[in-house]
Amino acid sequence: MCNNFRRITGIILYGGIEMKSIWKKTIVLVSLLSLAFFMSTCSKKEAPSTSARPTYVFKVATAGQPGDSLDSSLKLFLKLVNERTNGAVTGEVYAASQLGNHRDYIDGLQMGSLQVAEITAAVLSTVAPKFSIFDLPYISRSPQALYDILDGEAGDILTKHIMDVAQIRTIGWMVRTPRHVYSAKGPINTVADFRNLKIRTMESAPMLKAMTLFNAKATPIPTAERYMALQTGVVEAAENNVAEIYNCKEFEVTKYLSKTAHLVTPNIICIGTKFLESLPADYQQIIIEAGREAGAFGTQFEINGEKDFEEKLVSEGKMIVNEVPDKSSFTGVLAPLYAEYTPTIGQDLITLFQKQ
């Protein structure tokens, strides 16, 4: 009986040991599975935070009118940036000086309250003196020739200059068609016709000096105030390209268009350097490339539309257009202006421009 008891007891004890081993293995297996599930869950939760990209809303400013070359170029810029950042950058173009004048745009870019703006070379020259080169009459031969040099070494020099002195970067050159004189007083054929002419110019020291050499009475007036100044007789004339004259309806307050073609200048797509450098590196590259494409688009927009706008000024605006084939009387008095600004601009940059 005792032997039977020992045999039975041994089976029970052995079975107990076997059962304990099975439970231990089960507990270990369950623990490992739980740990794996927990790690998998944590991994899934963390993934979005590591892959998420910041989003931005750009304010883009222009003094241009809705649908013109400036407005259209900046809308293309935003479209390209939006597409290439997969929707991370959105924004709006504020046309017709809604966000102020070009001087205000410089302040906004430097302070960061404005992300992108188009600004005339004349206004940029007030903070970056080398940009005065654009306001030397007859320094540029044609819109396409000017765009070509700005898309190369000359543009690189100017971009570095304004980044160094004003913390603004140029990202696109929108070269406008030639600027002519339009007036309520009479046509311009030679420099003698400028005598005592009250003319609106851009905010540009070289242009004011040039008009002094032409014996005109020049007054710098912001774009948004130009029509009223012409209408009220504060000035008798202004100078601009045919697209701008038509889009701003200034044929209503002037009569004569004289094709002096004294300036070919760009409106420049700009961004604040601090803001640009705060963006992801790939976004920075996208913005720079989109700005270049938008500038090229705006330049061709202007070139392609020049003849049509001139015809509209005649047919709709009843303007009288006179060609000015001989410009020697204008260029003949400008030597002192070039001599004065060569030290500021640099002979190297002037030489590049004169190769057009």
**Residues 80 and 193 both lie in one domain:** no
* Residue 258: closest CA among 144, 178, 138, 158: 178
Confirm whether 213 is domain-assigned: yes
Confirm whether 355 is domain-assigned: no
The pair of structure tokens assigned to 236 is 């008798």
For residue 116, give the H/E element and its range: strand 116-120
**Residues 153 and 257 both lie in one domain:** no
**Residues 197 and 162 both lie in one domain:** no
Confirm whether 315 is domain-assigned: yes
**Residues 112 and 202 both lie in one domain:** no
Per-residue pLDDT of the chain (356 residues; tens, 9 = 90+): 444 434 433 433 334 434 344 334 443 343 433 434 334 433 333 333 335 789 999 999 999 999 999 999 999 999 999 999 999 999 999 999 999 999 999 999 999 999 999 999 999 999 999 999 999 999 999 999 999 999 999 999 999 999 999 999 999 999 999 999 999 999 999 999 999 999 999 888 999 999 999 999 999 998 889 999 999 999 999 999 999 999 999 999 999 999 999 999 999 999 999 999 999 999 999 999 999 999 999 999 999 999 999 999 999 999 999 999 999 999 999 999 999 999 999 999 999 999 88
Confirm whether 356 is domain-assigned: no
Handedness of CA 177, 232, 228, 68 (dihedral sign): negative
Q: At what angle do helices 335-345 and 347-354 cross, to 10 degrees?
A: 120
**Residues 185 and 294 both lie in one domain:** no
User: Which CATH number fits the domain that encloses residue 288?
Assistant: 3.40.190.170
Are 134 and 121 in contact by the 8 Å Cβ rule? The answer is: yes
The boundaries of the domain holding residue 5 are 1-31
For residue 151, give the H/E element and its range: none
What is the number of structural domains in the chain?
Answer: 3
**Residues 158 and 295 both lie in one domain:** yes
**Residues 24 and 102 both lie in one domain:** no
**Residues 164 and 65 both lie in one domain:** yes
